[in-house]
Amino acid sequence: MRKIFLTFLISLLFFGLLNYMLNSLSVIDQRGINQIQNTFEVSTQEEFDVLFEDLKEVGLVYNYINKKHFFSLVFILFLFLLFTFLTVHLFIDKLFFRKFYEQPDMFKGVRRGLLFSSFCISVIFIKLFAFLNIFTFILTLFIFSIIEYLFLQFYNSGKIIKEGKNKKVQGKVISAGGIVARRLSGKRQILFINHEHAKGLSFPKGHVQNAESIEETALREIREETGLQKLSISSKLGVVSRKSLDKSEGCPQKDIHIYLVKSADCNHKEADSEYLWVEPKKALKNMAFKEEQEFLKSVINKIEFQEDLSRESLDKYSRKVKDNLEELNMDVNIRNFSKTTRTAVEAAEAIECEVGQIAKSLVFQNQKNNEAVLIIASGKNRVNVEKLNQKMSLNIKIADADFVRSKTGFSIGGVPPVGHTEKIKTFIDKDLLEFEEIWAAAGSSNTVFKIKSDELVKITKGEVIEI
């Protein structure tokens, strides 16, 4: 509706400007009046009015107008007609031809508005030169109708579709859509349209319009058909070829370009009657089109199912870690798993990384001053307490659960490297620096976050040692 409101305001602006110019500017200025009086030797207003009408009838009035004023008025009139037509067109398109979440076709409105405005201005010029009659009016209307028809033939025949550069496609309809996948509460789900005509599930997709790229079409169709926002293309999965169901197109062959699409808000989008979140195995049994079913089978292992990375999906401990990392200017995503990541082996299995990439935060109690000591060790290593005590002049022992909770604010198995209740002396296993990226606990026994090893040293201000 914002586009409709904006075009309406612009049309009001040009209406006001047009009204002002009509009241303040004279198309026939004093110079033109003097020229008519001197040429035709008229002395009274009555004689002038009669003569002026005669000049209009024979198309000679153009010779006596102020052309600067005239063309300024024509230009403003053209813009007023354009935006008035565009406002009405968008309003009707939105009200009668679009679903509530779909946007009206701005390109089509502008195109038709330009034709309408050009037609009106053409009629004015024909009238000015005394050529306007029923024949010239119909001829002008016919010419502009031919222009619209040729334009539609050019863009809707499927011969030219823009895909980066203009690409010719003979005899086929080009469509685009995508697969949006998520992992919610441990379940893998894909977003499908509930296809009424074919009675089954189908990917959100649609025809490429005008000069938009195929990638733009995929994102637009998903946005319009599901209401999902904040979309981005992850990768192209391939092309599905099948017969179109549109009888108006003669049921031609259709090429559907399918992309893997990510959405920042997909985990908060509930299903309704028009689209559904379905597990892959169940979806394969209920696909509307065999070609799309075979395609889904072939790409299922390429689909990355998005974790719920939103702050609202985390418990209070993981939210505390996320807030602390943001205060340290660290933009990280906390991954929430359905199974435990308490141990390094469990975390590595869930994340599908090497055990050595797991940065386990181990809390020890310094018996000299009863302070906590944090050792962030590689998952593949065990901490040699005796060696550390001798090397670092410490007297540490493994801390119990109550001590860990009181000093860090977190429970054993979920202690993060930052965000603790107290400031803690930190040591970092040098073996972690062998990896560019590592994974650390994020406050609970099933949440982790990824960080570069050198950034971990920076934010913890830890001392790198051999453990």
* DSSP string covering 248-271: GGTS-EEEEEEEEEEETTGGG---
Return the top range by mean pLDDT from 41-50, 156-165, 432-441: 432-441
Taking the alpha carbons at both ends of the chain, their separation in whole angstroms is 63
pTM above 0.75, yes or no: no
Q: For residue 86, name the pLDDT band (cuts at 50, 70, 90).
A: confident
User: What are residue 280's phi and psi, to 5 degrees?
Assistant: -55, -45
Question: Which of the two residues, 127 and 92, has the higher pLDDT score?
Answer: 92
Q: For residue 429, name the pLDDT band (cuts at 50, 70, 90).
A: very high
Question: H or E stretch including 192?
Answer: strand 187-195
- Helix (H, G, I), strand (E, B), or coil: what is residue 394? coil
The whole-angstrom separation of Cα 193 and Cα 201 is: 6
For 177, counting Cβ atoms within 10 Å of its Cβ (0-12 exposed, 13-18 middle, 19+ buried), the class is buried
User: Residues 385-410: pLDDT tens digits?
Assistant: 998 898 888 899 999 999 999 999 99
Distance of CA 363 to CAs 347, 386, 416, 441, Å? 18, 15, 10, 13
Strands (E), 290-387: 306-307, 334-336, 358-366, 371-378
User: What are residue 143's phi and psi, to 5 degrees?
Assistant: -60, -45
Query: How many CB atoms lie under 10 A from the CB of residue 290?
Result: 9
Confidence at residue 320, expressed as pLDDT on a 0 to 100 scale: 92
The whole-angstrom separation of Cα 82 and Cα 422 is: 67
The packing angle between helices 67-97 and 2-24, to 10°, is 160
The whole-angstrom separation of Cα 25 and Cα 70 is: 9
Confidence at residue 441, expressed as pLDDT on a 0 to 100 scale: 94
Per-residue DSSP letters for 388-418?
Answer: HHHHHT--EEE--HHHHHHHHSS-TT---SS
Q: For residue 121, name the pLDDT band (cuts at 50, 70, 90).
A: confident
Distance of CA 55 to CAs 35, 40, 61, 132, 295, Å? 13, 11, 5, 14, 73
User: What are residue 357's phi and psi, to 5 degrees?
Assistant: -80, -5
The whole-angstrom separation of Cα 150 and Cα 145 is: 9
- Helix (H, G, I), strand (E, B), or coil: what is residue 398? strand
Return the top range by mean pLDDT from 147-151, 164-168, 242-246, 448-452: 448-452
Question: Which of the two residues, 172 and 434, has the higher pLDDT score?
Answer: 434
Confidence at residue 239, expressed as pLDDT on a 0 to 100 scale: 92
The domains found in the chain, sorted by start residue, are 2-27+66-156 (no CATH), 165-307 (3.90.79.10), 311-465 (3.90.960.10)
Cβ atoms 70, 78 nearer than 8 A: no
Contacts 24+ apart (CB under 8 A), 135-144: 144/115, 144/118, 144/119
The yes-or-no verdict on residue 418 having pLDDT over 90 is yes
Q: For residue 52, name the pLDDT band (cuts at 50, 70, 90).
A: low
Q: What is the mean pLDDT of residues 140-169?
A: 61
Q: What is the mean pLDDT of residues 188-196?
A: 85
Return the top range by mean pLDDT from 94-103, 158-167, 433-442: 433-442
The packing angle between helices 67-97 and 106-128, to 10°, is 140
- Helix (H, G, I), strand (E, B), or coil: what is residue 213? coil
Amino acid found at 368 = K
List CB contacts of 4: < 8 A, sequence separation 6 or more.
87, 90, 91, 94, 104
The whole-angstrom separation of Cα 4 and Cα 11 is: 11
Amino acid found at 310 = S
User: What are residue 269's phi and psi, to 5 degrees?
Assistant: -100, 110
Question: Which of the two residues, 18 and 309, has the higher pLDDT score?
Answer: 18
The whole-angstrom separation of Cα 204 and Cα 276 is: 11
For 439, counting Cβ atoms within 10 Å of its Cβ (0-12 exposed, 13-18 middle, 19+ buried), the class is buried
The yes-or-no verdict on residue 423 having pLDDT over 80 is yes
Confidence at residue 41, expressed as pLDDT on a 0 to 100 scale: 61
> Nearest 10 degrees: CA dihedral of 233, 237, 241, 243?
-50
Distance from chain centroid for Cα 182: 17
Query: How many CB atoms lie under 10 A from the CB of residue 411?
Result: 15
